[in-house]
Amino acid sequence: MIKQIPGFFASLKMTIIGGVFLAASLALMITKAATPFDPAWVTVIICGIPLFYSAVTGLFLEKQISSPLLISIAMIASIVIGELFAAGEVGFIMAIGAILEDKTVERAKKGIKELISLAPATGRRITAGSANSVNGANNPHNGVDSEEIVPIGQVAAGDLLRILPGEAIPVDGEIVSGSTSVDQAIITGESLPVDLSIGDNVYCGTINRFGAIDVRATKVGEDSSLQKLIRLVREAENNKAPMQRIVDRWAAWLVPAALAIAIVTWLITRDTIRAVTVLVVFCPCALALATPTSIMAAIGQAAKYGVIIKSGQALERMGKVDCIAFDKTGTLTHGKLVVSDIISFNTELSEENLLQLAASAEALSEHPLGKAIVLHAKERGLNLQSTADFQMIPGKGLSATLNGSTVLCGNSAYLEENGASLGGEVVAALEKLRSQGKAAILVARNNQCAGIVALSDTLRDTVKNMVSELKAAHTNTVLLTGDHRQTAEYFAAEAGIADVYAELLPEQKVAKIQELQNLNRQICMIGDGVNDAPALKTAYVGVAMGSRGSDIAIEASDIALMGDDISKIPYLKRLATATVKLIKFNITMSMSINIAAIVLSTLALLNPITGALVHNVGSVLVVLNAALLYERKYV
């Protein structure tokens, strides 16, 4: 109950009430109207209680000398000599500074709950004897099954689990029967589902897109990949200390210095008013406002340009960043597969005819690549022809009968298994496409390879200029991705990024960021996926793509780019750097004004009231500088 009282008086509503009564006291003082009660008493009580509580708890519980202690001493001294307005003014200014700072450091922390919700709660456990039913026929219900839905907590390493199409995989394990395509974006960030079959590993939380599989559990519960992901986010969150105001770090010597100067002044002059004036002008009001006002102004400006900065700490840190690490899929690229190349090896088939042939065969396919081909054909206004005898082999390809001809669409192994020969021209084209990070679908008609339809993610239009601007500002760039090395290197070269780290799991991204930061690099990580959350938390600053990014990535980040406009990164860097410089300037200026006011106080040229007004000139200038920062253009 006692702890709630200071919080109540420190609220914005109560601070406004305190300001109204302080203004009333000033009006009475100017007009010299006599009243039995000075309204400044209300301000002293409202603004003084939180300060006094903070001073006492800091001194006796935390064993720390804080700025509230100095302010409390100055307020008490002013009250003792009858200067209520000076006491109320100092308390009110400090209350405003505290509110502004609180507004800049509020952070939402519900993302971890959403991450936990991705972990499947149950699993379909089967007997080992039924595993063979999936193999070959791709039907999980052939043969005699014995399966039960059990809580995931009852699944042990070595258990056999069946995962049907569309289900989340509840454990880390190895496929012992069946083949499928798995969406591993949550773990690796890859935009393409990965074709997997017997002997391949699967990860907890990933989605089985096509084909039933039986999986032998290897890691369950807290040992699974998803639980490791959750643990990494929690650890990184706990390792991030809240922003500590510069005024508090300096309070350890400000308080003794203020008391010493006040005592020496009294011993020399025997003038109590001079000593109290020293305490009043020593109060670091402008110093307390220097950081939060500048940060609020910068956060406000950034919001106008679609950049959401969650805390003052994030902004300050962004100004010190010297290396930016990018995720690939959804960050540097659009994260959406589109048809990029149509290559015909048959002189009788134009590119349009080949696309129509492939799209007609893929019309019944549920595979993401097939859907992308069909969509591209429809966008080009092509009419799809009806097919018969459609058959799909997960992880390999499909066959269909079209106008009496057998059409095959799939990978090279699938075509060769079905008697289609691949010449040197086809192999060379495949190698070139793979070096460009593209997925290739071979199309054969009547056992002759007719052509290739290639699909690729696409680089955002603004990426090259953005990387160039960062280099011009002496900020290094690196690529951290779970994609295959060839794909990563191709897109990195297109973007102008030299340092590439590919095929990284979430914990490997975290390790790489830690490695770079151990080399005294200040790393900013930019990503969009769930798999990026630990890296976003571990990095000195985390930036998430606000529109495309997962809720978990956004919650884990310090800054979010609304509209996914990655070209705003150089602007963000310039704004943050300017803000840090302004904060340092404001601190220097406010301290200079305070020092000048202390000298004038010791010479009796200021009294507690005029001293409070003079030293608050620094506060006014700090706010004006912040306003100028808000209006300045950094885009």
The residues assigned a catalytic role are 327
Which tokens in the block code for residue 190? 């890859």
Q: From edge to edge, which strands make up the β-sheet containing 405-410?
A: 338-344, 448-456, 439-445, 405-410, 397-402, 388-393
Q: Do the Cβ atoms of 342 and 354 come closer than 8 Å?
A: yes
Three-state secondary structure readout of 117-144? HCCCCEEEEECHHHHHHCCCCCCCCCCC
Decide: 205 and 186 in contact? Cβ < 8 Å: yes
- Residue 538's nearest CA partner among 560, 566, 561, 557 is 557
Which residues have CB under 8 Å from 433's CB, separation 6+?
A: 341, 440, 452, 454
- Structure letter (DSSP) for residue 335: S
Q: List Cα–Cα distances, 148 to 124, 172, 220, 251, 526, in angstroms.
A: 6, 19, 17, 64, 42
Contact 170/213 with Cβ under 8 angstroms? no
Phi, psi at 423, each rounded to 5°: -85, 180
Which residues make beta-bridge pairs with 338? 456
Sign of the Cα torsion 179, 183, 188, 190 reads positive
d(CA 96, CA 18): 10
> Rounded to whole angstroms, how far apart are CA atoms 440 and 436?
11
Supply the DSSP string of 203-221, one letter for each residue. -TT-EEEES-EEEEEEE-G
Distance CA 228, CA 341 (A): 39
Task: Report whether 70 contacts 53 (CB < 8 A).
Answer: no
CB 534 within 8 A of CB 542: no
3-state secondary structure 467-513: HHHHHHCCCEEEEECCCCHHHHHHHHHHHCCCEEECCCCHHHHHHHH
Q: How far apart are CA 272 and CA 260, in angstroms?
A: 14
Burial environment of residue 309 by CB neighbours within 10 A (0 to 12, 13 to 18, 19 or more)? buried
Euclidean distance between CA atoms 257 and 278, whole angstroms: 10
3-class SS at 73?
helix
